[in-house]
Structure 1
Amino acid sequence: MGIEFTPIFFMILVGISVAIGMLSMSYVLSPGRAKTRGNRVKQMPYESGMDPIGDARQRFDVRYYLVAIEFLIFDVELLLLYPWAVAQWHRDEVSPALDATVGVPLELRSMAFLGALAFIGILVAGFAYTWRKGVYEWR
């Protein structure tokens, strides 16, 4: 083998040595090595600092899932609207040195804006529907 593979072998060696070093330091610094006395209170499970009440396998209300899905929808909305907002800039407004293919042409901007408004309107209508159905009213 030639010298062209030396950086690859060096990176593999560094990766292996970092992994071994991390494992050995976690063994040395772990609190499990010290003798700790436990009692019933210390070994009792808890969630978010609260004592568990009831069965762990209880069913959740469907409203919890609806709120979670709606949060994801509004989160994904930002993934769509941010590139759309960036693409609205035309080359003449940013810099004349940029290529002509950058951004939405001036004659299509109003159509793109109306499309984004329709998208936001559909999301707002879904939000209003779930609000009217009482999804956000907790017992």
Structure 2
Amino acid sequence: MSDFNPGIMIGVFSLLVLAVIASILFISKSLGGFGRRFDKEQPFECGLLPSGTTKHNFSISYYLIAVAFLIFELEAAILFAWGVDYWQLGIPGVIAGVTFLVILLLGFIYMIRKGVFQIGVYES
């Protein structure tokens, strides 16, 4: 199909990528004004003077619920893949799937017993 050596093509592509990255960084630095000091009392983006503090305190239960959501969201993705190949997996696949669900169920029961899903338990 072509007489090009794959190593040469990879090298040309790598040089092209490096050139694009360097040009993006150069344009960003020249147009963005990096290195300038800004007064904290100047308006930023919206044109309004800053008021109050930017520090927001979240309770730990927010993070615990977020981690629980991630765990059970990944569980759904894994179980979907398991369900697609359910008939080809046989008895060992069923045992592995049930073991996976039991471990997650035990973790869910632990979280319920610790009160992760009760609002106001973990206030900071």
TM-score, length of structure 2 as denominator length: 0.54
Letter in 2 for 1:79: L
Q: For residues 39 and 105 of structure 2, what CA distance do their matches in structure 1 show?
A: 55
Per-residue CA deviations over 1:102-126 (Å, capped at 9, x if unaligned) read: 3x43797488458626623541451
When residues 9 and 121 of structure 1 are mapped into structure 2, their CA distance, relative to the original with a 3 A threshold, is closer
Does structure 2 conserve the Cα–Cα contact (< 8 Å) formed by 1:88 and 1:109? no
Over the matched positions of the two proteins, sequence identity in percent amounts to 11
Query: Shift of residue 40 of structure 1?
Result: 5.1
> Which residue, out of 66, 70, 73, partners 1:71?
66
Q: Write the mapping of 1:1-139 to structure 2, written as runs, cut at 5 A.
A: 4=5, 5-30=7-32, 32=33, 41-42=41-42, 51-52=52-53, 64-90=59-85, 102=88, 104-105=89-90, 109=94, 112-113=97-98, 116=101, 119-120=104-105, 122-130=107-115, 131=117, 134-135=120-121
Gaps of 5+ in 1: 93-101
Does structure 1 conserve the Cα–Cα contact (< 8 Å) formed by 2:82 and 2:97? no
Q: For residues 23 and 111 of structure 1, what CA distance do their matches in structure 2 show?
A: 49
What is the aligned length?
112
Q: For residues 111 and 24 of structure 1, what CA distance do their matches in structure 2 show?
A: 53
Moved over 6 A (4+): none
When residues 82 and 20 of structure 1 are mapped into structure 2, their CA distance, relative to the original with a 3 A threshold, is closer
| Aligned residue number for residue 95 of structure 1 | none
Does structure 2 conserve the Cα–Cα contact (< 8 Å) formed by 1:81 and 1:116? no
**Structure with the greater relative contact order (CA < 8 A, sep ≥ 6): 1 or 2?**
2
Gaps of 5+ in 2: 45-49
Using the TM superposition, name which of 105-114 and 64-73 deviates more. 105-114
When residues 12 and 106 of structure 1 are mapped into structure 2, their CA distance, relative to the original with a 3 A threshold, is closer
Letter in 1 for 2:41: V
Using the TM superposition, name which of 111-120 and 76-85 deviates more. 111-120
Instruction: Select the structure of larger CA radius of gyration.
Output: 1
